[in-house]
């Protein structure tokens, strides 16, 4: 199951989260060529994150999928 895990230090309310989850699901499915019904997206807002010594708004994303990502990244 392709999984996108997004973490940000910006608080995310339920309305914004719902839209982001739907949009991210569509993008991941299209990018890796899998149906949306296979894609899982996790959104963690309001988490402590520091990047380059700064606590300015930031996000970290991690995409996990078995077998497909290497082909997508290599252009095959």
The reported pTM is 0.84
CB burial string 6-22: b at 16+ within 10 A, e below? bbbbeebeeeeeeebbe
Among the listed residues 2, 11, 48, 57, the single catalytic one is 2
pLDDT tens string, the chain, 76 residues long: the values are 899 999 999 999 998 999 999 999 999 999 999 999 999 999 999 999 999 999 999 999 999 998 766 566 666 5
CA-wise closest residue to 43 among 10, 14, 21: 21
- Residues facing 60 on adjacent strands: 7
- Tell me, yes or no, if 11 is annotated catalytic: no
- Tokens for 69, please give them: 């990502």
- Tokens for 59, please give them: 């996000």
All structural domains of the chain, each given as residue ranges with its CATH number in brackets, are 2-65 (3.30.429.10)
């Amino acid at each position: 199951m392709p999984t996108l895990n997004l973490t940000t230090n910006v608080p995310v309310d339920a309305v914004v989260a719902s839209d982001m989850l739907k949009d991210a699901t569509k993008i991941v499915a299209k990018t890796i060529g899998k149906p949306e019904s296979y894609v899982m997206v996790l959104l963690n807002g309001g988490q402590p994150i520091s990047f380059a010594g700064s606590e300015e708004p930031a996000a970290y994303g991690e995409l996990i999928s078995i077998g497909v990502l290497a082909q997508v990244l290599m252009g095959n």
